[in-house]
Amino acid sequence: RSESTMANYSDMSELNEVLAMPIKSSLPTRWERKARERSKRDGDRFIPNRKAVNKDLMRIDREDLENRNPENQKFSSMVAQTILKSDSASKILSYRNKAPKPSDSHLNKLRVLYAANRETVRVRRQYRHINSTPERVLDAPDLEDDYYINVLSWSSQDILAVALGPVIYLWDAKSGSIETLCETESDEDIVTAVNFMHDGNHLAVGTTNKDVQIWDISRKKKIRSMKGHAARVGSLAWNNHVLSSGSRDTMIFNHDVRVANHHIHTYHGHTQEICGLTWSSDGTQLASGGNDNFCHIWNTSDSAPVHSFDHKAAVKALAWNPVQKSVLATGAGTADRHMRFFNTTSGKMINSIDTESQVCSIQWNREGKELVSAHGFSKNQLSVWSYPSMTRLADLQGHSSRILHTALSPDQTMVCSAAADETLRFWKVFEAPSRKRSAEHHSVPSSKRSIMRSIR
């Protein structure tokens, strides 16, 4: 009985152990299912399980090419030969050969139909080449290194006038000959401004001696001398028979060169020296720039400016757009370095660009779609721009000192630059205009021809 009792006790203990063991169900629990799903998400959604992937074959170790497994290298070569055929050195997407022709399925026929009806894509314009080497270089000894004067002008008769100290020289662009027009009576009385009249035969001259003179270059004779300013005359601008002169005395005078009492109007708005003057092509507005950092716009009869544009340095470079007649380009000195474009009708600024250098002069091409700017400190270069995008087309370098003046040839293709390095350089900047427009530009109206006969 005791033995049976012990056996029963042993069976009971085993039974208790079995009952204490966890019950395993054939269905996984919820947490087991979640863990199993997470273990499968070890890769890209398109590659749900990477366990069968040999990652050594897909790894590109460019720094250790010599230690690659030979078997893997053999497999890679076989894959490349199968996919890329003989051109195994090329990339998967190779653009050197034409794409294969599409199959003649229904969808491809529709694609061809719609592609044929699609509007042609505009090809981006390729900018033309601009020669960075000057066509000609001339010496200009004794050229004054003065930002505030204007001593270069190119006539409609293809004669270039340049003042070197007290002497004015004439260079004939057709023959290449150089002649002396005049010389002031004293070396201290230097020429500070020159500007050709539209006929190309009469040259206005401003001097340190406060005079405004008119010279006939065909006869090399001074035909008029006009006084009135209290300081040197550094800027001149023509408007038919009216000559405007700007002086260090801050005054702008209008002179009617046909009459004895030449002084017909005065503009007074600047507080420092006038260093830039130019009339609009229609003769209705005068733009003036001064060392007081202002550009003023004047109507023909008003004594006060209709618009005043503030800058951060002296404003010398002024140029009207020949097509958009109310658009004025201005350029200022070293503390400013900007070119600005204004609508002189509304008085609003259209655009502004930092040229990163002193702006001394601006010239437009005839179509008003390009312009060239001349720069002083610190780049000493010419820059060609596309307008109105103001994309820089070219930088023309060659001068070793700041470029003080520029002049445009009568055919509107060449730009002459005069710099403090005492050289004149001639650059082929703009394209030649059409013959029709060129003939219209060079023809002198009969009213202007009559003005020539009345100067005295």
The percent of residues above 70 in pLDDT, for the chain, comes to: 70
Tokens of 14: 């085993």
**What is the rounded average pLDDT of the residues 2-27?**
63
**pLDDT tens-place string over residues 317-368:** 999 999 999 999 999 999 999 999 999 999 999 999 999 999 999 999 999 9
What is the number of alpha carbons within 13 Å of residue 277 lying toward its C-beta? 31
**What is the rounded average pLDDT of the residues 119-141?**
77
pLDDT confidence of 89, banded at 50, 70, 90? low
- Does this model's pTM top 0.75? My answer is no
Position of tokens 């000493």? 380
pLDDT confidence of 455, banded at 50, 70, 90? very low
Q: What is the pLDDT of residue 424?
A: 98
Where is average pLDDT lowest: 32-36, 171-175, 233-237, 346-350?
32-36
Position of tokens 């066509």? 135
**pLDDT tens-place string over residues 24-40:** 655 666 667 766 766 65
**What is the rounded average pLDDT of the residues 117-140?**
74
Position of tokens 């017909």? 264
What is the number of H-type helices and E-type strands within the chain?
Answer: 7, 28
Burial class of residue 390 in the structure, from the number of CB atoms within 10 Å of its CB (0-12 exposed, 13-18 middle, 19+ buried): middle
Q: How many residues does the chain have?
A: 456
Domain ranges of the chain: 33-86, 136-454
Alpha-helix residue ranges (DSSP H) falling in 233-352:
none
Write the CATH number of the domain with boundaries 136-454.
2.130.10.10
Q: Residue 163: enclosing H or E segment and its boundaries?
A: strand 159-164
Where is average pLDDT lowest: 54-68, 201-215, 252-266?
54-68
